[in-house]
Amino acid sequence: MSVTVNGVAREADVEPRTLLVYFLRETLGLTGTNVGCDTTSCGSCTVLLDGESVKSCNLLAVQVDGREVTTIEGLATDGQMHPIQEAFHRNHGLQCGYCTPGMIMAAASYLRENPDPTDEHVRESLEGNLCRCTGYHNIVKSILDAAGQMSGAKA
Amino acid sequence: MATTEKFVGTSVPRKEDASLITGQGNFVDNLTLPGTLHMAVVRSPFAHARIVKVDVSKALEMPGVVGAWSGADLAGEWAGPLPMVWPITEDIKTSDHWPLTKDKARFQGDGVAVVVAESRGRADDAAEVVDVEYEQLDPVLDIEEGIKDGSPLVHDELGTNAVVHWSHGGGGDQGVFDSAPVQLRLRFEAPRITPSPIEPRGALASVVPAMGEFTLWTSTQIPHIARVTLSGTTGIPEHKLRIVAPDVGGAFGAKLNVYAEEALCLALARRTGRAVKWIENRSENYAVTVHGRGVIHDVEVAATEEGKILGFRVKELCDMGAYFQLLTPGIPELGGWVYMGPYDTEGYWYEFTGVMTNMAPTDAVRGAGRPEATYVVERAVDTVARHVGKDPAEIRRISFAPSHAEAKPSLMGLQIDSADYLPAFERALELADYEQYRKEQAARRDSGEVKQIGVGLSSYIEMSGLAPSNILGALRYAAGGWEAAQVRCQPSGKVTLTIGTSPHGQGHDTTWSQIAADELGVHPDDVEVLHGDTSIAPLGMDTYGSRSISIGGAALHVALQKIKDKARTLAAHELEVAEDDLEFRDGAFRVQGAPEKVRTIPELAVSAWTAHDLPEGYEPDLTAVATWDPKNFTWPFGTHVCVAEVDTETGFAQLLRYVAVDDCGVVINPMIVDGQVHGGIAHGIAEALYEEVIYDEAGNLVSGTLTQYLVPSAAELPSFELDRTETPSPTNPLGVKGIGEAGTIAAPPAVINAIVDAVSHLGVTEIGKPATPERVWKAIRDARGGGA
């Protein structure tokens, strides 16, 4: 299969049963994408597929043949962190950090479609991403802050 | 590098974040070593069954399989059973707990065999074909049935399932329970819950066979305790065993334990001479990692006719599960000191009986004993209020114990270090617009609206900061409760802290750096913090029980004073003055009256390191080590207020507001403290509304995945409104108290009190946890006379 991951074209032979998340973690060594469950519930493994968030434990690697995947490792550009990453740091949007890559990727996809969200809409958008540390309070705050920064940057 | 800026008390952004937000975290599953074997455990599908035969031959024929063993095959590997370090009574009945069971499976998921193979997939495939013949036995799944004569026995050799009984022994005047004008007998239950860190457990063991040296990277809260106890289980000498806790993806008590899989990875690395890795999947995490709660309380509460609370007499029945894990029998007792809440009571009694069952072992889940106690106290206080026809806020006001700034003996026998309950209480009510909601509640009741409003209060005190070693000794705990810190001022001006606590999301790197920065006059970014590796930080007792800042922070404080003392001696030597002639400020010693004569800590660090010109007998290098054994626990307190709207037709409860005013003494980093409270509240709301471990009548785990065990998402939870009062702790030199568990302790009764309050005018007096729409709806139906 061939796939573009974080802007780099990659080719690999994979077993048909290999899930995308294990292809990323074990074949490509991109261990930023975590696994927290086996029922597509926790969202820790969220990545972007052609810009849209997907749970990489719920896709076979071969299903992304010819497409473009962005993982947490590919979110920063030119050494500059993405505004969502900066907002998570500024607002204490993470504690243990295990769900964080998935949260940030889910937020990146959501904010692209919804640049000016409300607290309630952000909460609904995170329904598929679980966190046990933060109570979500500062995650929501981080995403709203990032939305403000990103729309400010565009304006 | 030197700075006059102060950092304690400010929200310094976390130093830990950069790797975690860029996908460069160092979680155990991210680690690989050449030639690593992968381990899979064969687990019993039955809750209770005799093992007739284990045949691993088919597994051994599978491609990529390197070895497969039954419990009997590995019996010779163990120098001792898995650790249980808290035999809380002399007559506790205990049974050896082996990494793989040999005779009986005692819960669904109990390990009976193990496989190692060249890949995770091949290990899992091979585990599937291990042939185990079982003879099914009747399981014990109910603690009240389990203590009756004729019940099946979980451990036959113990002759009973009621294996431990501990009594506090009582305090104050037991007569109040017979003489008080108001005497209520109540029953409360707390179902099992599971800690659910988002990262399941995992371990990777490596071995250097020629040296007999082992390293275990494990997702744990307790590398130091794991080292000494796993040495005891595996027979690997302690000095040949290094334990590393890398980045740990949450724990909440799940990783305050020493598990079979950790011992198995080490033993199989020894057998094969290769690295062995095991990564728990979520289903295993729910089946075999410890659960918590699982208790029934029978409570007598005494009060005056005005509703002043006079005392609680509590008997608790506790589900221990199939085996004692590390702390299992001691967990209820941790709550056994706070069954008076923040109230000025006259009589105190607490006792519990621990019952073995054919379900997963129970142990600490965030709060450990204190959420159980606080739930009982706060639900009972609301029930008394309703009984005497008073506002629950009013009876709390007249029942609070007086404030005190120094330690004061309490009826339950320990000393509460400092307290001032009323200001936190009044602030919480003010923030929550309490009176306004009471008016709205009255209006909605008058108009008979479908959606009714309830306000729930929860005033708590908790015992945190585990623990004074002498008290632990008196309670028969096998270790001490002290903590350690080393400070090294490097010649380049940087500072290295080596600490004994082992964080897993709490931000110790940042908080400890702030403390050192202020003392030494450096920036937190110039401080590195090392922890979680027994070769790098050999001294320590790890992170649990809201202990890290109040004990580990105190140890750091003492080490920093030693550094300053040592630096002062050297400064006096270099400046050719007496030590008393120096004043220390902003990281520099100045000669009084001659402020141009100055030596900064970084300058002195260089002098101490080069050692070219030191005072007679002065030890080179600016380094100090300190340990701190607390004289007392710390006692955080506060009041939480929950406002809930309950649909009386569907039973659905929506949380409209959640206000928390906590007092954890002096705050080092407000942002991090708030974060701890947020997470604790969410965990407590989850316990109140969503989460419940369910076994069916055969002992099958029904809530075995995240699709059945309902960890709430952001969509289910409100924002939280926080404030603090600050009553310094006299227990430690920083004035700090723990804050990691406060939210989990306070929230469940706040939520349930709100929901009961919303429908109490319909006659509802009790709704069990979790208050699902079905339970709420049934409570309303039953109160209305069953004619729904």
C-alpha–C-alpha distance, residues B39 and B68, integer Å: 10
Residues 592-631 of B with CB under 8 A from A: none
Tracing tokens 């008997």 back to the chain, one arrives at B315
Chain A nearest-CA residue for B505: A96
Contact B162, B354 (CB under 8 A): yes
Mean pLDDT of chain B: 97
Which amino acid, residue B202? G
In this structure, CATH architecture of domain A83-154: Orthogonal Bundle (1.10)
Which amino acid, residue A122? V
Residues of B whose CB is below 8 A from A97: 16-17, 19-21, 25, 247, 249, 505
Query: What are the residue boundaries of the structural domains of chain A, listed by start?
Result: 2-74, 83-154
Q: Dihedral of CA A118/A105/B29/B22: which sign?
A: negative
Helices B742-759 and B370-388, interaxial angle, to 10°?
A: 30
Taking the Cβ of residue B705 and every Cβ of chain A, the question of whether any pair is shorter than 8 Å is answered with yes
Query: CB atoms < 10 A from the CB of A50, how many?
Result: 11
Taking the Cβ of residue B504 and every Cβ of chain A, the question of whether any pair is shorter than 8 Å is answered with yes
The mean pLDDT of B163-188, rounded to a whole number, is 97
Residue B788 has pLDDT above 50, yes or no: no
Contact A128, B714 (CB under 8 A): no
Do A133 and B679 count as a contact with CB atoms less than 8 A apart?
yes
Closest Cβ opposite residue B23 in set A101, A131, A135: A101
The mean pLDDT of B719-736, rounded to a whole number, is 98
The mean pLDDT of B177-196, rounded to a whole number, is 98
Do B683 and A132 count as a contact with CB atoms less than 8 A apart?
yes
Instruction: List the single best residue of A26, A58, A92 to mutate versus B (max B Cβ within 10 A).
Output: A92
C-alpha–C-alpha distance, residues B309 and B182, integer Å: 9
Do B714 and A37 count as a contact with CB atoms less than 8 A apart?
no
Closest Cβ opposite residue A36 in set B24, B198, B247: B198
pLDDT in tens, B226-268: 999 999 999 999 999 999 999 999 999 999 999 999 999 999 9
Residues of A whose CB is below 8 A from B199: 34, 36, 96, 98
What percent of chain A has a predicted confidence (pLDDT) above 90?
95
The mean pLDDT of B189-199, rounded to a whole number, is 98
What percent of chain B has a predicted confidence (pLDDT) above 90?
99
Residues 670-699 of B with CB under 8 A from A: 671-672, 674-675, 678-683
How close, in Å, is residue A44 to chain B by CA atoms? Answer: 8
Residue B270 has pLDDT above 70, yes or no: yes
The mean pLDDT of A112-136, rounded to a whole number, is 97
Residues 242-271 of B with CB under 8 A from A: 247-252
C-alpha–C-alpha distance, residues B432 and B420, integer Å: 20
Do A30 and B198 count as a contact with CB atoms less than 8 A apart?
no
Do A98 and B16 count as a contact with CB atoms less than 8 A apart?
no
The mean pLDDT of A111-123, rounded to a whole number, is 97
Closest Cβ opposite residue A44 in set B198, B679, B714: B198
pLDDT in tens, B104-144: 999 999 999 999 999 999 999 999 999 999 999 999 999 99
pLDDT in tens, A107-116: 999 999 999 9
pLDDT in tens, B544-584: 999 999 999 999 999 999 999 999 999 999 999 999 999 99
C-alpha–C-alpha distance, residues B404 and B342, integer Å: 12
What CATH number was assigned to the domain covering residues A2-74? 3.10.20.30
Residue B787 has pLDDT above 60, yes or no: no
Note the pLDDT of residue A154. Answer: 65
Instruction: List the single best residue of A26, A56, A98, A139 to mutate versus B (max B Cβ within 10 A).
Output: A98
Q: Domains of chain B by range and CATH?
A: 17-23+482-628 (3.30.365.10), 31-137+196-288 (3.90.1170.50), 139-192+291-389 (3.30.365.10), 419-464+633-788 (3.30.365.10)
Instruction: List the single best residue of B12, B14, B19, B20 to mutate versus A (max A Cβ within 10 A).
Output: B20
Instruction: State how beta strands B721-724 and B653-663 pair.
Output: parallel
The mean pLDDT of A76-89, rounded to a whole number, is 95
Do A96 and B717 count as a contact with CB atoms less than 8 A apart?
no
pLDDT in tens, A23-73: 999 999 999 999 999 999 999 999 999 999 999 999 999 999 999 999 999
Residue B1 has pLDDT above 70, yes or no: no
Closest Cβ opposite residue A97 in set B247, B672, B743: B247
Q: Is B764 helix (H, G, I), strand (E, B) or coil?
A: coil
Q: What is the 3-state secondary structure (H, E, C) of B484-545?
A: EEEEEECCCCCEEEEECCCCCCCCHHHHHHHHHHHHHCECHHHEEEECCECCCCCCCCCCCC
Q: What is the ipTM of this complex?
A: 0.98
Note the pLDDT of residue B507. Answer: 98
